[in-house]
Structure 1
């Protein structure tokens, strides 16, 4: 189990994403994403780039959960527990 509750689960995974994206390979991937988005929109604003990075992090999170049955089960447990709170 990665975490004791939903917020901790998200926090643990988000920190892992940040560490991975700060590696040379992660920086290269981020640079490729930036180049692709600039080709689509050469006038992209800082806010649009911030939103793109946020969407990319969300994509990574859900891809990991989708492809990792243990993570999917744990996320399901945490979501269920959150829904049971008054």
Structure 2
């Protein structure tokens, strides 16, 4: 069985970007990425069982986009 994390951009400015993340659009947490350093912080866990399993893949995905200099409106991580 695969694992899927949806990421939807909430807001972006010159210094940071905030994404909602979780298994689907009805169960989302939030994370913040610092554009200068690539540091990622969890702002809110998704309201699901095993919610901590969603942050690390979401953080990896937004850092991949940060390294490429892109911040898409919608993306995902899947295994």
Per the TM superposition, whether the score is higher than 0.5 is no
- Which one has the bigger helix percentage? 1
With normalisation by structure 2, the TM-score equals 0.32
- Which one has the bigger strand percentage? 2
Larger radius of gyration: 1
Bigger RCO of structures 1 and 2 (CA < 8 A, at least 6 apart): 1
